[in-house]
Structure formats: structure tokens, C-alpha cells
Structure 1
């Protein structure tokens, strides 16, 4: 099978073309620092064209047919399975994914695509019990219209796909803006896959451009009925303000940052706790919103846990993401590396003890483990989005709960205990969207609600929950 070409172009109205901005996107391999390609970015003119194409496709009922949507989605699964290695290699080369993480990401995308196959049949009219005996009552389930999707660079393929395929399955059209660090795996690669799957022109459009140039315009534009954003809390808050402050109110689905705790209670299996820590924190270099951002461990287990953890972390392979045994690959860009360096220095200045330093070489940042961490210090309160791990001691279970909830975030969490009932009771008291007892904080099931509380976002993705987000109801009554 011939590999895709011309991935350095915008995809608008079924046509591949150069952007019209005077700026160029430099697509750089995070590990080798080699230039993959440079392509002309999208301008506001391209945004207008993309929204016009999407609006036209929606008004013309390009994917109104249930059979058409089902056929396209089924074909999409086949195409991804046939091109799996091509997609995996793009994730490694463009996003710095390790081979392990890239395969996990493709599987996650396939899961949400399979789940979306149930959505077209749910777009039905439901009869309600009428409170007026002289009238009949019905609820129609309808698409929203044009949905704008803004996706991040950390899981670009999956986090773009989960909104795009769901929107299309629900008979919406889409304009997708991928992150500038991952314009292919978060954008043009999806356009190629849907194109091969037979999606009608205009239903999916991709504009890759600088957030500084087109970000606000993309959100404030009058055409989209909804903004689906996945990214940092700071940017997500700005998106929310722009979307709600525009001349036409828009629906919002915001999946933002996290500060996931792994809580290790006093009856925990320490070997299990160590493995939950390693995979929950260091998978994809910690560049995951659900990643274990801090460990809260009962003081009675602290010393033994740290000893076991450091011993285990010394076995982690840091290096070439193409190698099967690599767990930690490159950080996405130099600005993120600089941020991590600053966080390390600040943690030390705030009296945390660096119990293990895995080193920094170019874009490779090894594990850094901190003990004696003040719960109010920067490294405990802020999302590092890297392989930095603060360990906080809890006096008892009540203190552990207090520490776990002491954050402005509330996305994911994990609890380690030998008593599952105790773990469930503890989890129920967390002001957090997702908790995994004796599992890692990084988990995403296509049929389970994915989302957070507080500054971790609004709304839920996956399964029936994202179906509700991407559709609308219309109540109608008729005389009997």
C-alpha cells in the first residue's frame, strides 16, 4: 500500500491546497530535531473557507443518510487497520511517541470509532407521554450543525478522532484545527483517512495554523455551533470566554489539564503501587492530562515505597522512541524542556529533596523524583506535563483525602489499597471525574464517561455522554 503524500497541505472542501498565511509551520521530529517538512499555515481566509465548506455540506445533508455514515465509519476502521504501521510511525516521528504509546493511541482511536457506530441509529424520534390528553408529544434527536474541533499535541490522533468521528456519526460537519506541533497526526492524516473511507467533500475540513494568528477567529467565528477543545486549562479558559462572549453563543466541550493523585493507603501492596506509579507517571514522558502528577503515600509506607520506586525507575529505558523497550522518549519541544528545567530548580529551591535525577540530554528528560514535598509548593499544585514526580506524605487516610482534593484540577486519580471496598469509599469522596482503584490514573474506555471537575473542564467525552454533547433535542407536539 502506497503511503500518504501531500500531508503538508490544508484540506478544505475536499481540496488539498496551500494555506494563505505568510507564516510557515515547522514540523520538527522531537527526537532527532530534524525538519520533517515546512508548510504554509492557514490564515483567517482559510478559516472562512473551511467553515463555508462545512456549513454548505451540512445544509446539503451530505451525511444525512444513516447508511452512508455507517459505511464511511466501517470503512474508516478498515483503512486504519491496513495503515496502522504508517500511523504509528507518524506518531513516533511527529509527536515523539514511544512505540508502546503510539500503539496504545491507535487502539484508543479504533475504540472510539467502533463506539461511534452506535450513534447513527440513535438519531431517532421518541414518543413521550403527553401531559395534555388532547396532544401527542415527541422528541427529535438532531445534529448541531458545524462543530469546531481544537486538538492537542500529546495524543493528537486519538484526541482529534474522538471528536471528529463522533461529530460525523451524529450527522454534523467538522472543521478541525490541530496543534501546530502535530499538524499531521492531529489533522491532515485524519483527512486522508476519511477521504479514503469515502466521506463526502466538505464534511471534514482541516486548517493548520498558529493559534496566535487564527485561534481567536476560529473560536469566535459565527458558523460553528459548538467548540470541542482539548488542551491546557489556561488556553481552555480563554476559549470558553471567547465562545461565550461572541455574538452567537456556542456550546462547549472542554477537556483541560489535570493534577492526578495516586493515593497509596496504609494497606497497599507496595510492589503494585510502584508499578502503578511507573506507568501512570512516565508513559509518554508524563505528557498526558491523566498522568499521575503527584503521589500521596501514607507516612508508614513512605520510606519503603520510595526505596522500591527508585530501584524500579533505574530500570526505565529513556531514549529512541522507535525502540520497543523505550518507555520515556523525547519531550515535544524545547519550550516544554525549559519549563521542566525551571520546575526542577523551583522544587529544589522550595526545599524538596531530589531523590532521583534521571538526567536531561537535549529533548530527553529522564525521571526526576522528589520527596519531602510541601503540598503547597509549585510542583505539587501545578501540572508538570513531564516525567517529574513529587511524593507527598499523608498522616492518615483523612489527611490523604484532604491532600488529594487540595487542587484546582479534578480530572483523573488512582487509589492503591488491599481493601477494594475501602478504595471505593475513598474514591467516592474525591472531587474528581475519574478514579481507578488499583489501576493507573491513565485510562480511557470508549464507552465510559471521560471528563473532569473544576478547572479540568466541562462536559464528558465517549459513549452516550459525547452523543449527548454533540446532538440536540427538539420537542414537538401535535393535536391528537
Structure 2
């Protein structure tokens, strides 16, 4: 087959990225191939092999076989492969960025940011093998010694989304591998290459042993339930919408073998601008934090909450900034807003815009889509309880601006959601900002920065319906390892069989 995935990128002989990757081999999947589309122009860039239930069984079996030998490797050996993967990322930088543009609709800016994040995640993972440490608890009985071993869980199942596909796969895959697990990865159907197959190619080139990482593209409707319920994985790491995450949690609960669940789910992040903020700076940050990657980010600024004293000034300046954003071909370096990932997602955003217009909300910036490229939309005077714009995750280039009476009202509005992933607050008084951030019900909160932040060795995760657990650094070690308590009785201990002694005495007395 002469397509981009089977050739690798121009000028490079690479792995056949149109196949599934199981037990160190690139295989034809048993299910029918699926076209992989460029979301900007609709072109088919590859025909991707799809896994069925038998392929999934083979992937989990390979992972189970390979894991023990991989875990037995010295920490420095696993660290060396993570470092080599980072070097492969560097050598293949332009290829990887091109794939992110072509398959996920990333602008060149966003694709470069994602490449940077993934390479940083590889380098972070190189440190994690040396962070797996046990404990020696104090003795509780004479002559008894105890130790707590920190061990890999075994096999990890990873389900990743399409919006930052390489990063949101790698932030589970690399740490899980680094601490001694084997992984089976199911990338999103819209991004099978950048969400998984490309990652398999990178780790293959870095020297990862066969079977330690397996990638099985396939529709969730066909292999999703089996992926979660399979007895092999001890941890399921899922990143996606809150609604789908609920379903994953139910399937984990119903599985024959109960598993640990790591969930990073949807957000409804507030970006709060207090009256004393540097307004021009807040506008710049808000435009970046709302429209990066067309707003298709879980921690994007979903709501802009602005204090009354500066509200109209902010709306005017923000609208002016948004009108300058480059829109169109994601391959152009001047483009900031590229295509929506698929027609279904585009239609969902259109319905949100139509609902806002039907409710008479003030549309400050708008426009019509060209193909899948939807220009940025800004609505002012949005009620805090508006279902589509204030209480739902928009996941598109639509910015609702909500007026707050004062700081207390802004905090109340910020917390008036069942989600709690990320948040931001802008003020010239840093300590005021910190006090405000501490009261926001979210896993992450940023003072004088927009909410799209994910840094190695810093905890990433949400509260309320935005998920369970944390990614990165020590939190990733915690997620993908388990404790085993071992005791050694170094000298005999006495066992007080009091009940048996009493029974024997009673029998003697009766005789």
C-alpha cells in the first residue's frame, strides 16, 4: 500500500504505521481496515488495520509474557530506553510534527508544543525507575521485621483521546513502562497513528523489548468493552469525556477482576479576571487559553468570568484580539485556529452556537465555517446557568464571557459546576490571587496564567466529575505501582491459644 502510513514520512524509511503492533511485530489486524482522514482537507492519509477481540487477546497475552522480564531489568536499563526514546523524538522531530498536523488537525504551533511535551515526558520517564522506593516500617512484635516493596502492577491498559493524541497517550505509557509494567494501548479512532502507532515506532527504535508495548487501533464499539474487562490489565488509564469515563468506571466495576482506575475527564475551567488585573495581559492569556487547538482541550478556558468594574473594557479588548487570530490551514505557521477534528464534533459546536443565538446572547465575534474550519466565536453577557455555554464542556472555538459583581461572586461562579479540572485567576496582587486559587474547587489552579498547563513532575488531574488520580512524577509512580507487605519473624513468638486452654480446663473439671 502506497500511503503515508506505510511509507513513513517523506524521505524516511519507518515502521509500517498502517498496521497494529503486537508482541514486537507489525501485523495485519483481523478486522476491516479503516480510512484515516486529514481533518483539514478530508483526504485519506492512510488505511489503518483494525484489531478485533482475538488481536486484543494476543496483545494482552504478549504484555503478560513480557512484563516480568522487563520489570526484572535494572532501573538504569529501563531509564536508558526512556532516554533513547527522547533521542528518537529529537531525530524524528519534523516527521512527528507533520503527522500531528496531518492527522489531528494541529496547527504547526500546537504540534510543536505537543512534540515538546512528549519529549519532556520521555525525559521525565527516564528518572522514574529510580523513584520506585519501598519502606521499612517499625517493628510491632519482638523479633519481627517488616518491609513494604513497591512493585509494578503488571499490565496497564491505556485508552487515549484524539485532541493531544501523542501526549495524552505517552503521559500514561512512558511512566507505566519506566516503572516496570507492560502496556496495551488503544488510541482514538480519529488519531490511530499519532495516538499510538507512532509511539510504538518510537519505542521500537529505542530498543524496547517485544511485547512490552502493544498498540491495538479499533473502534470502541467493537473492542472497547473487552479492552476494559479483560483479566490481564491491573490498571486502566482513561482520558476522555466525563460521560464516557462514567461508562468505563461501570465496566471496571463489573469486570471479573477489579482493577485500579485512573481517569482524566472533561473540564469546565473558569478563567477569572479580577478588577485589578493587568487587562492587556489577561486578554492575551485568555485568547491563548481559550482558542489553542480550536478549544479542543480538556483544561481549556471554557468560561471567562470577569469582574463588573472592568467587564465592558475586557469584552472590547478581547474581541479585538480574537479578530486578529489566524484561521485556516494548520500547516501555515501563521495559523492559530485550524480544523475541528471531524464532522460530528463540528455539528455539536454549531448546535451550541445556534442555542446561544436562539437565546438572544450578545454575539461579539462570529462567522461561518469553511469546511471543518470554524472561526472563533465570542458571546458576552452569558448567564452563569446557561446549559450550552456555561454548564457544558464546549470543546470548540466558542468563548462565553460571564459578568461577576465582585471577587466573591466571581469565586461562586467559578465553582458553580460539577467539574473541577483546571482554573485561572488574574490580579496584580499575587497573594490575593493565591487566596482565590486555594478556594477554587479544581485539581489545578494558576495565578496570572491561563489554565492550559501540564508540566513534568507536577500533579495533573481533576476534582469532582473531572476525574480520579494524578499524572506525572511521583504521582505517576503511585498510579502504576502497588505495595506488597512482607514480614520476617526472626525469632519464635508465642501464640496465646487462650480459648483452647479454657476449653481444655473445662473438660478436665467435668471428667
Q: Map Cα deviations across residues 102-133 of structure 1 (whole Å, 9 max, x no partner).
A: 11111111112111122212334432222334
Task: Give the structure 2 partner of residue 472 of structure 1.
Answer: 482
Change (3 A) 1:41 1:438: same
**Counterpart of 2:250 in 1: which secondary structure?**
helix
Task: Give the structure 1 partner of residue 239 of structure 2.
Answer: 230
Segments of structure 1 that go 5 or more residues without pairing to the other structure are none
Instruction: Report if the CA contact (8 A) 2:70-2:181 is conserved.
Output: no
Change (3 A) 1:62 1:461: closer
Instruction: Report if the CA contact (8 A) 2:15-2:201 is conserved.
Output: no
Match of 2:408 among 379, 398, 406: 398
**Counterpart of 1:74 in 2: which secondary structure?**
helix
1:195 aligns with 2:237: no
1:433 aligns with 2:433: no
1:142 aligns with 2:147: no
Instruction: State the 1:62 CA deviation.
Output: 6.3
Instruction: State the 1:416 CA deviation.
Output: 0.6
Output the CA distance in 1 between the equivalents of 2:192 and 2:286.
31
Instruction: Report if the CA contact (8 A) 2:71-2:152 is conserved.
Output: no
Task: Give the structure 1 partner of residue 42 of structure 2.
Answer: 33
1:84 aligns with 2:102: no
TM superposition score normalised by structure 1? 0.98
Task: Give the structure 1 partner of residue 495 of structure 2.
Answer: none
Task: Give the structure 2 partner of residue 418 of structure 1.
Answer: 428
Instruction: Report if the CA contact (8 A) 1:149-1:175 is conserved.
Output: yes
Calculate the aligned-residue CA RMSD, in Å.
Answer: 1.2
Instruction: State the 1:5 CA deviation.
Output: 4.2
Task: Give the structure 2 partner of residue 4 of structure 1.
Answer: 14
Task: Give the structure 2 partner of residue 451 of structure 1.
Answer: 461
Output the CA distance in 2 between the equivalents of 1:342 and 1:43.
34
Q: Map Cα deviations across residues 374-411 of structure 1 (whole Å, 9 max, x no partner).
A: 11112111011100000000011111111000111100
Task: Give the structure 1 partner of residue 184 of structure 2.
Answer: 175
Output the CA distance in 1 between the equivalents of 2:133 and 2:404.
51
Q: Map Cα deviations across residues 223-277 of structure 1 (whole Å, 9 max, x no partner).
A: 1101000011111110011012111100000001001100011111110110111
1:287 aligns with 2:296: yes
Structure showing greater radius of gyration is: 2
Output the CA distance in 1 between the equivalents of 2:205 and 2:370.
40
Match of 2:30 among 14, 17, 20: 20
Instruction: Report if the CA contact (8 A) 1:3-1:86 is conserved.
Output: no
**Counterpart of 1:361 in 2: which secondary structure?**
coil
Output the CA distance in 1 between the equivalents of 2:303 and 2:222.
35
Larger deviation: 343-352 or 242-251?
343-352
Instruction: Report if the CA contact (8 A) 2:271-2:424 is conserved.
Output: yes
Match of 1:100 among 109, 128, 138: 109
TM superposition score normalised by structure 2? 0.92
Output the CA distance in 2 between the equivalents of 1:289 and 1:408.
14
**Counterpart of 2:390 in 1: which secondary structure?**
helix
Output the CA distance in 2 between the equivalents of 1:132 and 1:316.
69
